Amino acid sequence: MTQQERYESAKQMYGALGVDTDAAIAKLKEIPVSLHCWQGDDVIGFDHDGPLTGGIQTTGDYPGKARTPKELMQDMDKAISLMPGKKKLNLHASYAVFEEGEFADRDKLEPKHFAKWVEFAKERNMGIDFNPTFFSHDKIKDGLTLTSPDEEIRQFWINHGKACIRISEYFAKETGVPCVMNIWIGDGFKDIPADRMGPRMRYKDSIEQILSEPYDKNLVKPCVESKVFGIGVEAYTAGSAEFTLSFAATHDGVLPLMDNGHYHPTEVVSDKIPALLCFFPEIALHITRPIRWDSDHVVLYDDETREMAKEIVRCGGLDRVYMALDYFDASINRISAWTVGFRSWQKALLNALCTPNEMLKKLQDESRFTELMVMQEEIKTYPFGAVWEEYCRQCGVAGDTGWLEEIKEYEAKVLSLRK
């Protein structure tokens, strides 16, 4: 049976459930997903020579890490060529590209320092999302940035945030696509603090000062991201889930951003998505795969990944949820990590679009729970792989593991030469 025959057979099976697979494929082609630049160089960036600090950690030392902007862009290009679907570019401020002999500290960053990334994005018809970088810098004092009691330190990071607002608006104007600007800090304490509220009040004031920078709310979408803990700040983090959610709810135009590695192990973001969509016009996600903690493993086509995608689709959230990948694995080929993660999320979205959500909802609303369970289990073995292959074919990429051979060849010819 040919690939096209397999697809036609699958199309008929899904059609019997009221699912139009052609429409699902066409819809997914329109949905942008942000691809994070920091997978390619282990979150190091280009504005410092020191180690990664600030409550996060990359493990592994696989050969071939990108060392320059040119190498990082080259590697991203290779990964992008192996992924179906629509992409955005996701940058951290630490990836500013300076001309020879030029340097600007983070509080003095300007749009011109990201002009090469804008050129890269526009040539590939991509929008750009952005993240101020509140880690890996010598002006982090005692592990604190926007919550620091040292006003000079805190003001430096406020000015950094304001600079990033201006840069985000520049991205949006240049690409014609709104820029999601995400604020996350690793500020916290290793052991039990004497004052939990004070740092959070300073954090609240700091974000408000950052957002006082004038910007077009149609172009810049500020977010606040929470975290349970980080390396070295296990006892307390200022930006808890309650803090960031409350801040977003009480500040017009600010979105809550949920990273599914930033919660307690028994919490699932798939359940939080519909809860937040009851109240927020828009929300944002950083999609990762936590194992025991926020370990940023490569996204796989696993249960929670599929459930998150299902909730976005079921809730009519494809135009209300900004989706971005966020992981950094240095123990395997980094381009493969990018590719597997992006393709896994695309599979999850396509699977959600091929789920007979209206039929299942009707069964639930009519309390026909026996039938609901049976149908939910039955569709798990439907020939989704044939639909995925057709989607990849239409996007001009391999639907099977054929792409891996390209990565192996690229590793042999390019990555292995980096010492």
Q: Look up 296 and say whether it is catalytic.
A: yes
Calpha distance 245→82 (Å, rounded): 36
Calpha distance 319→311 (Å, rounded): 13
- Residue 264 tokens read as 């307690």
Calpha distance 419→415 (Å, rounded): 9
Q: Which residues contact 203 (CB under 8 A, 6 or more apart)?
A: 146, 147, 185, 187, 238, 239, 243
Q: Which of 88, 272, 286, 310 is catalytic?
A: 286
| Rounded-to-10 torsion of CA 78, 81, 87, 92 | 0
Q: Which of 262, 272, 310, 347 is catalytic?
A: 262
303 is in an annotated binding site: no
Q: Look up 319 and say whether it is catalytic.
A: no
Q: Look up 184 and say whether it is catalytic.
A: yes
Q: Look up 345 and say whether it is catalytic.
A: no
Place of tokens 């500013």: 96
271 is in an annotated binding site: no
Question: Residue 220's beta-bridge partner residues?
Answer: 179
Judge residue 74's burial from the number of C-beta atoms within 10 Å of its C-beta, 0-12 exposed, 13-18 middle, 19 or more buried.
Answer: middle
Q: Which of 184, 345, 388, 403 is catalytic?
A: 184
Q: Which residues contact 210 (CB under 8 A, 6 or more apart)?
A: 158, 161, 162, 164, 165, 183
Q: Which of 129, 326, 389, 411 is catalytic?
A: 326
Calpha distance 119→89 (Å, rounded): 12
Q: Which of 169, 174, 225, 411 is catalytic?
A: 225
Phi, psi of 291 (to 5 degrees): -125, 105
Q: Look up 173 and say whether it is catalytic.
A: no
Q: Helix, strand, coil % (nearest 5) of the chain?
A: 45, 15, 40
Place of tokens 């001009």: 396
Question: Residue 221's beta-bridge partner residues?
Answer: 180
Q: Look up 259 and say whether it is catalytic.
A: yes
Q: Look up 358 and say whether it is catalytic.
A: no
Asked if residue 224 lies in contact with residue 254, where contact means CB atoms within 8 angstroms, the answer is: yes
294 is in an annotated binding site: yes
Q: Which of 78, 227, 272, 310 is catalytic?
A: 227
Q: Determine the Cα angle at 365 with ends 363 and 367, to 5°.
A: 70
The residues assigned a catalytic role are 184, 225, 227, 259, 262, 286, 294, 296, 326
Residue numbers belonging to the annotated binding site for Mn(2+)? 262, 294, 296
Residue numbers belonging to the annotated binding site? 262, 294, 296
